[in-house]
Amino acid sequence: MSHTLSTPSDIRRLYAKLAGFTCLLLLVLAFFSHRITGAQLQNNSGFWIYKIVGQILVLAVVIFAILAFRKKDVPRIPRWSKWNLIYFGWAAAFLALDWWALGRLAAHSSLWLAIVAHLLLLAGIAELLLGSFGKLSLKRTLRFYRTELFYSAGAAVLFYSLLNVLSRAWEPLATFTQKSVQSLFVISGLHVTSAPNRTLLLHKFGVRFEQSCSGIGLLIIFAALFCFVAILDWKKLNHKRAFMALLVGLAGLLLVNIIRVYLLILGGYFINISIASQLYHSYTGLLVLTAYSAVFWKLSYAWMLEAD
């Protein structure tokens, strides 16, 4: 029996599993980034590598989804079964142990404990992948899309390198974000004071707006992926509408990032200061970008294909 069936159910299952794994991965990386930063481990024992690898991996997943969507056939994707739950259970166990290991590592520096913490985190992510797809679905997906996976990995590394180069122009955007967030606090009735070096002072703490607050990385990734899709579909797109959609998409993402930063500071003010001081450097931005991009393409792609 053939392993490639172009049925709507197979396509829906493939994208549901891909979306599920992406969201779970981002949540895990966000929580563990928070844990690593809180334990002051971000510059020790090689934990800094997860910020780079995590961003490249998320980029690769998004690019893969774009390339896979263009294929007419998909591998046969079985429904979820009890094995998915078992894999998720193992993932939860590994990640819980890793959470404990990171806490111990913060109190007592140890090479062996650092190695164990790395292995537990990687094992947890691997089990999340198996839980999201299932062993058979994952095997078929890797075999069927091996070319797309290769190109996705290469393009993700290229985009990440481009991001590092272009993101040096973050300061004007960080200043704009600071002024915008300050305006939102004034509208909310909370007293804030602007200080030098792009800093906002609240009653309980102060926040300095750095590169991670500016949203420039999100804008560059969004624009790069948009251009990637535009190149692939150049002959099908209405170029005028595509350009308008790009401008609207960037403006909307800028607004969404301002709201993201505002809500993080608000969470720090009313709930816990660590929300404002640490989650900037987590994967909340990528999580927002993923959700925003999904809505953007759902609403705009068909419109960009229409003739004026």
On the question of pLDDT at 308 being above 60, the answer is no
Q: How many residues does the chain have?
A: 308
Question: Rounded to whole angstroms, how far apart are CA atoms 146 and 15?
Answer: 17
Across the range 240-263, mean pLDDT stands at 93
Phi-psi sector, 65: left (phi>0), alpha (psi -120 to 50), beta: alpha
* CA distances in angstroms from 115 to 48, 101, 121, listed in the order given: 14, 10, 10
Identity of the residue numbered 163: L
What confidence category does residue 80 fall into, taking pLDDT thresholds of 50, 70 and 90? confident
Residues facing 265 on adjacent strands: none
Global pTM reads 0.71
Q: Helix 8-38 crosses helix 49-69 at what angle (to 10 degrees)?
A: 170
Per-residue confidence (pLDDT) for residue 2, from 0 to 100 = 42
Which residues, other chains included, contact 162 with Cβ-Cβ below 8 Å and sequence gap of 6+? 220, 224
pLDDT score of 5? 47
* Between residues 11 and 145, the one the model is more confident about: 145
**pLDDT over 80 (residue 73):** no
* Helical H segments across the chain, by residue range: 8-38, 49-69, 82-107, 111-133, 135-144, 146-166, 171-188, 211-214, 216-232, 239-270, 273-278, 284-305
Q: Is the pLDDT of residue 259 over 90?
A: yes
Cβ–Cβ < 8 Å for 212, 37: no
Average pLDDT of the chain to the nearest whole number? 84
- Say how far apart CA 7 and CA 20 lie, in whole Å: 20
Question: What's the pLDDT score for residue 292?
Answer: 93
199 backbone dihedrals φ, ψ, rounded to 5°: -115, 140
What's at 207, amino acid-wise?
A: V
Rounded to 5 degrees, φ, ψ at 282 are: -105, -155
Q: Which residues contact 227 (CB under 8 A, 6 or more apart)?
A: none
The predicted structure's pLDDT at residue 251: 95
The continuous run of DSSP H or E covering 208 comes out as: strand 206-208
Residues of the chain with pLDDT > 70, as a percent, come to 91
> Predicted confidence band at 7 (pLDDT cuts at 50, 70, 90)?
low
More confident residue, 35 or 135: 135
Whether 198 and 209 have beta carbons less than 8 Å apart is answered as yes
Look at residue 166 in the predicted model and tell me its pLDDT.
74
Task: Reduce the DSSP state of residue 193 to 3 states and report it.
Answer: strand
pLDDT score for 179: 92
- Using pLDDT thresholds of 50, 70 and 90, give the confidence band for residue 257: very high
Between 78 and 308, whose confidence is greater? 78
**Three-state SS for 167?**
helix
Share of the chain above pLDDT 90, in %: 26
Phi, psi at 100, each rounded to 5°: -65, -45
Which of 154-168, 226-240, 291-305 shows the lowest mean pLDDT across its residues? Answer: 154-168
Predicted pLDDT at 4? 47
How many other CB atoms are there within 10 angstroms of residue 234's CB atom? Answer: 10
pLDDT at 96 over 90: yes
Distances (CA, A) of 84 to 136, 140, 288: 11, 16, 26
Mean pLDDT of all residues in 15-36: 84
Q: How far apart are the first and last CA of the chain?
A: 45
Inform me whether the pLDDT recorded for 40 exceeds 80: no
**Cβ(286)–Cβ(26) below 8 Å:** yes
Per residue in 260-271, pLDDT (tens digit) is 989 888 887 777
Q: Is the pLDDT of residue 1 over 70?
A: no
